Homo-oligomer: A and B are copies of this chain.
Amino acid sequence: MKTEGLLAQRMLKVKSSAIRELLKHSKMENVISLAGGIPSDALFDFEGLSIATQQAITEQAKSAFQYGLTEGSYLLRERICALCSERGVIAKPEDVLVTAGSQQALDLVMRAVVNPGDVFVVERPTYLAALQTLELAEANVMSVSSDSDGMVVDELAELLKTQKIKGVYVVPNFGNPTGLTLSTARREQLVKLAAEHNFLIMEDDPYGELRFTEERNATLYQVSQQILGHTDNVIYTSTFSKILAPGLRLGWAILPPFLLHKIAIIKQAADLHASSLSQSIAECYLGLNRLPAQIEKIRAAYKQKCDILAGLVEKELGDVISFDMPKGGMFLWARFRQPFNATEWLKTTLNEGVVFVPGEYFFSDKPDHSTFRLSFATATEQQMQEAVARLRRAL
């Protein structure tokens, strides 16, 4: 078709998510999926969501179905601020932009700050769809490695000696795909570097509430406030997807004022505003005060699921596979003890009826082919038992 020549240059190298293609397999009959990063709908608070929806379409029907503010409903932003303050993120409603999931916050920020060729630094491995937003913004993506304390900030400091960078993307709590957490010392180091070298920190925190322990790490936003007295370099983003319902497509970003104003302009051109109905429902749901109990329920369930999967992997596959025990989130990041190609292995495991995500897709460069990601969020105990038995057979 002649019109194919009309695509913009930037689209020629953009590829579809490998995971997305992969997940088509997960819909096949008799295939157990440990692949998807989706929350378990068995844990959704359908009752609370129903009450909130009823409220939204009766008490707030006019605003729920009408156009709204680009920045988001003011009351929702107030309630988001209350939620954030429990995480040590102290912000005003005027600092909040309501987005279509935190995914949109990533995309909007990249569009607002990245010139083609600007350097943005990510962890190796990192969240795949963040890489996609960077690719679309034509960023020069550079990576630093991560270990059991999260992103190796010393490597970033080394890089900064020779390289001007625009920003760093980091999931500090129970990251996707590694499940690992950035240590306190490294958080402080990262925040200081950002101020010193004037780059942005894109702090993506979808999983922070899904803690398996009572320990709560200070957000980078909070650390910045504490040690620098400002948060000029930090963008904090989070979402209702993992704690309430992803189908609402509702998240938020907390932004420095100069950026919020510009990003609101992009958001206006991008989709005018997030769904008014979703906003009304979230607003009403937060008003019901059911979220704290809901989060406790999810935390407990995911912790149990994680323990089960980790136990099974340890017992059945521990001779060939190692992993760091996650302290929260939805993922177990595994590694073959000997060099082994997990992408190749997937073909065998698919025949046995199990799908997972090979680790290589999460690396912007220097992929470690011996890694893979297992999600414990959606499978039942019985499914996990069967899945791990099948993985054993596939070895």
Taking Cβ atoms with an 8 Å cutoff, the residues of A that contact B are 1-11, 14-17, 20, 38-39, 41, 44, 46, 49-50, 53, 57-58, 61-68, 70, 99-101, 103-104, 106-107, 111-115, 118, 129, 132-133, 135-136, 166-167, 198-200, 232-233, 241, 245-249, 256-259, 261-262, 264-266, 268-278, 281
Closest to A199 in B: B6
A3–B258 CB distance below 8 A:
yes
Shortest Cβ distance from residue A41 to the other chain B in the assembled complex, whole angstroms: 5
Chain B residues with CB below 8 A from A38, complex form: 66-67
4 closest Cβ contacts across the A-B interface? Answer: A247-B276, A65-B245, A100-B271, A132-B269
- State which of B118, B129, B246, B269 has its C-beta within 8 Å of the C-beta of A129: B269
Whole-angstrom distance between the alpha carbons of A203 and B70 in the complex?
A: 25
Cβ contacts under 8 Å, A58 to chain B: 50
Among candidates B9, B53, B245, B276, residue contacting A66 with C-beta atoms closer than 8 Å: B245
Query: Beyond A199-B6, A245-B65, is A269–B103 a contact (Cβ under 8 Å)?
Result: yes
Q: Are B136 and A247 in contact (CB under 8 A)?
A: no
Given contacts A66-B41, A198-B3, A275 and B262 within 8 Å (CB-CB): no
Question: Could you tell me the distance between the alpha carbons of A101 and B249 in the complex, rounded to whole angstroms?
Answer: 14
Given contacts A49-B57, A66-B247, A248-B277, 10 further A-B contacts (CB under 8 A): A3-B198, A3-B200, A10-B115, A49-B61, A68-B247, A104-B270, A107-B271, A248-B276, A249-B273, A275-B278
Chain B minimum-CB-distance residue to A60: B247
CB pair B262–A276 under 8 Å, yes or no, is no
Query: Closest residue of chain B to A233, judged by CB?
Result: B3
Instruction: Please name the residue on chain B nearest to A69 by beta carbon.
Output: B20
Considering the complex, give the chain B residue whose CB is closest to the CB of A14.
B265
| A105–B57 CA distance with the chains assembled, in angstroms | 27
CB distance from A388 to the nearest CB of B (A): 25
Most buried by B among A68, A118, A275: A275
CA distance A92 to B95 in the complex (A): 43
Which of A8, A167, A268, A274 has the largest number of chain B CB atoms within 10 A?
Answer: A8
Closest Cβ–Cβ distance, residue A168 to chain B (whole Å): 12
Q: Is the CB of B247 within 8 A of A63?
A: yes
Q: In whole angstroms, how far apart are the Cα atoms of A249 and B249 in the complex?
A: 11
Report B-chain residues with C-beta under 8 Å of the C-beta of A99: 271
Cα–Cα distance between A111 and B115 once the two chains are bound (Å): 14
Minimum CB–CB distance for A66 against chain B, Å: 5
When C-beta atoms are compared, the residue in chain B nearest to A68 turns out to be: B247
User: Could you tell me the distance in whole angstroms from the C-beta of A75 to the nearest C-beta in chain B?
Assistant: 15
Contacts of A241 in B (CB 8 A): 67
Select from chain B the residue with minimum beta-carbon distance to A167: B6
Contact present for A136 and B111 (CB under 8 Å): yes
